[in-house]
Amino acid sequence: MSLLTVFTEPQQFFTALKDKPHFALPFWLLALGTALILYLYYQRVDFDWMVDMLLSTEKLGPEEMEAARKGMNREIMSWSSIVLAPLGMLIAFLLAAVYYLLAGKIAGVQQGFKAWFAFSVWSSAPLLLSTVVALLHVLTMPTQTLPDALYLTHLDPMLISLPLGHAWRGLSTSVDLLSLWGIALGAIGWRSWTQSGWAQAIVVASLPSLIIYGAWVVFILATR
């Protein structure tokens, strides 16, 4: 089955995936694409400007500010981001696979961890489109662009634009609107694998996002 099938015929795709789980293609495209975006970003960004902007929101004295500025090295930040971003993606997929594995056992679906890992990766396939958009953006962006503004399909900057240091900026720059498409794919896949109704499928597919972002909202409100 081609990569496009998950977008054009998701029901057929997940039915086939249940029998022959695989995940290498989308996982490596996402991981390597993310690493490439970050590499290109740190090659093109006005690094001194970026450091000044990031530190401008910190309540530091002159000596602390200077020490922090010296500790922010282009090469170190570049390579740490290139390594940690794909690693974080892997951890997220592993946690999603555990969640689906447990939910599947409750629903009486006898699928192993590898199958649910493949399920979690493929249900995130719309993030490939986000990656393509971000890659095009990083090639054409102004040199004075902050790292959290790389992904144009995120709530901020796609629909809103909050100033640096705003309490809601971290959340708004993390919410990818294409993740709604991913939830829809997860619901279709869950319904295909469990033969459940749409209500259960939508709840199961959307629950992780609701918990994560709901907890984030509560944290912001509690600390304001």
Chain segment 3-46, per-residue pLDDT in tens: 899 999 999 999 999 999 999 999 999 999 999 999 999 999 99
Q: Which two tokens stand for residue 125?
A: 């396939």
- Looking at residue 72, its pLDDT comes to 84
> Residues 178, 132: contact at Cβ < 8 Å?
no
CA distance 7 to 34: 21
> Residues 183, 203: contact at Cβ < 8 Å?
no
**pTM, to two decimals:** 0.91
pLDDT band at 168 (very low <50, low <70, confident <90, very high): very high
CA distance 23 to 107: 23
3-class SS of residue 154: strand
Q: Which amino acid is at 178?
A: L
pLDDT score of 89 more than 90: yes
pLDDT band at 174 (very low <50, low <70, confident <90, very high): very high
Q: Which two tokens stand for residue 160?
A: 């809103």
pLDDT score of 189 more than 90: yes
Q: What is the mean pLDDT of the chain?
A: 93
pLDDT band at 103 (very low <50, low <70, confident <90, very high): very high
